[in-house]
A and B are shown apart, each in its own frame.
Chain A
Amino acid sequence: MFGLFSSRQKKIEQKLFSLANEIAGIQKNIILYPKENTYKDLHIDKTKELNNLYNDLEKIKNKDYVKNFIGQLTIKYKASENVLSKEEQKLLDKLLIEHKVKVKIKV
């Protein structure tokens, strides 16, 4: 029983690692090609998927565990080639909010 949970947890964590990496790559492309809506749509879809996985992980473990896990992801992201500067992050937020308003998605 516990083995089953731990293997499911492992799978979710692996998915989260690769999804976070993918989202970081998509973000970089949004900055490079700000007029390209395909990357913004992709970002919205992948972020939803990421949040669902966080919820699944929280059900198996707990809130603190997920918080720590996000901390690990953040460290990895900051060391990656896709890390955004503060200015880029601001621009990304602005572009995504504008896009969400345009496609009528609640922010």
Chain B
Amino acid sequence: MIFKKIFLFFFFFFQTDLFAFEEMQINFPDKSANEAPTQTYYYKGSNSKALLVYLPGGVGTQQLALNVFSLPFIDLSKKNNSKGHYDLVTFISAKPLESTVLDRNWYNATYQMRSDKDHILRVESVMNYYKQKTKLPIILFGHSNGGMSIEVVLNHLIKENKINLLNGILVSESKDTQIDAILSTLKKSEINLPIILLNHEKTRCYGVNFAYQQRQFEKFKEINKAQTSIITIQSGQDSSNQPCYSGYHMFYLAHKEVLEKVEFELDKIKF
């Protein structure tokens, strides 16, 4: 019996990483709609400065949210790999958020799915829940198609006069159209939100033009009164698979560089 206890102690002691997150189900805001709750994974930092709400790209569901890509961002909450000063919440969509038909209409169809009122309300409810739980400033982090979600949620929050819920944006490897739309909204509304652009210099994903986005951000930097940062990832490895699901676009094997640069730029933001 005692050996069993000792074994269990060592087992749990060395497996602490397995228990480093909380799985939380957030109720859909309209209870009468009889919708499934939104699944989230919460990684708590120590003495956290802010909370990142991660909106995954692709279809926005579990497989994409919890793969190698997310590791450096999860590490922002872990004291052994970083300062651990940021909480992270991974948003798992209850419905697919990407068109499966890769044709001319792919963009419009995917954008429509990401603009769905249900999706916007789910993101808002997750932000509300974690704002109350952690009392931390919230940074929306959208990767790839997640940039579409940022755009629509940003517009929604401005329209509903709830922009105080949002304290910053981190957008990575999103399409040029999304970057233009986000920057245009921020310019028009004169909100002056801190914003970070994170791209790989060798990205091969369609619609993500590294040089173009750098230029747009450099221009925006001159007018935004809040912190505006551009992060360029140079390390990692390419893949022969679809360039919008693998390799440089997913910062594959660029863990250290992504973690260090993102933490450095986040630390510059004054909340």
Cβ-based interface call for B160 (8 A):
no
The CB with the most chain A CB atoms within 10 A, among B75, B80, B81, B255, is that of: B255
Among B67-110, those with CB < 8 Å from A are 67-68, 71, 75, 80-81
Cβ-based interface call for A33 (8 A):
yes
Closest residue of A by beta carbon distance from B78: A35
A25 touching B237 by the CB < 8 A rule? yes
Q: Which residues of A contact B253 (CB under 8 A)?
A: 22, 25-26, 28-29
Cβ-based interface call for B222 (8 A):
no
Q: Give complex CA distance A38, B17 in Å.
A: 11
B255 touching A33 by the CB < 8 A rule? yes
Among B239-268, those with CB < 8 Å from A are 240, 253, 255-256
Cβ-based interface call for A74 (8 A):
no
Q: Which residues of B contact A93 (CB under 8 A)?
A: none
Q: Min CB distance, A67 to chain B, in Å?
A: 26
In the complex, which range does the number of interface residues on chain B fall in? Answer: 10 to 19
Known: A18-B240, A22-B237, A42-B68. Contact between A32 and B80, CB under 8 A?
no
Cβ-based interface call for A49 (8 A):
no
Closest residue of B by beta carbon distance from A42: B68
Among A34-64, those with CB < 8 Å from B are 35-39, 42
Q: Which residues of B contact A18 (CB under 8 A)?
A: 240
Q: Min CB distance, A92 to chain B, in Å?
A: 15
The CB with the most chain A CB atoms within 10 A, among B71, B80, B253, is that of: B253
Q: Give complex CA distance A29, B237 in Å.
A: 12
Please, could you name 26 A-B residue pairs with CB atoms under 8 Å apart, sorted by A?
Answer: A18-B240, A21-B237, A22-B237, A25-B236, A25-B237, A25-B253, A26-B253, A28-B253, A29-B253, A29-B255, A29-B256, A32-B256, A33-B71, A33-B75, A33-B81, A33-B255, A35-B17, A35-B80, A36-B17, A36-B71, A37-B17, A38-B67, A38-B68, A38-B71, A39-B68, A42-B68
List B residues at the A interface (Cβ < 8 Å): 17, 67-68, 71, 75, 80-81, 236-237, 240, 253, 255-256
New A-B contacts (13) at CB < 8 Å, excluding given A32-B255, A38-B68: A18-B240, A21-B237, A25-B236, A26-B253, A28-B253, A29-B255, A32-B256, A33-B71, A33-B255, A35-B17, A36-B71, A38-B71, A39-B68
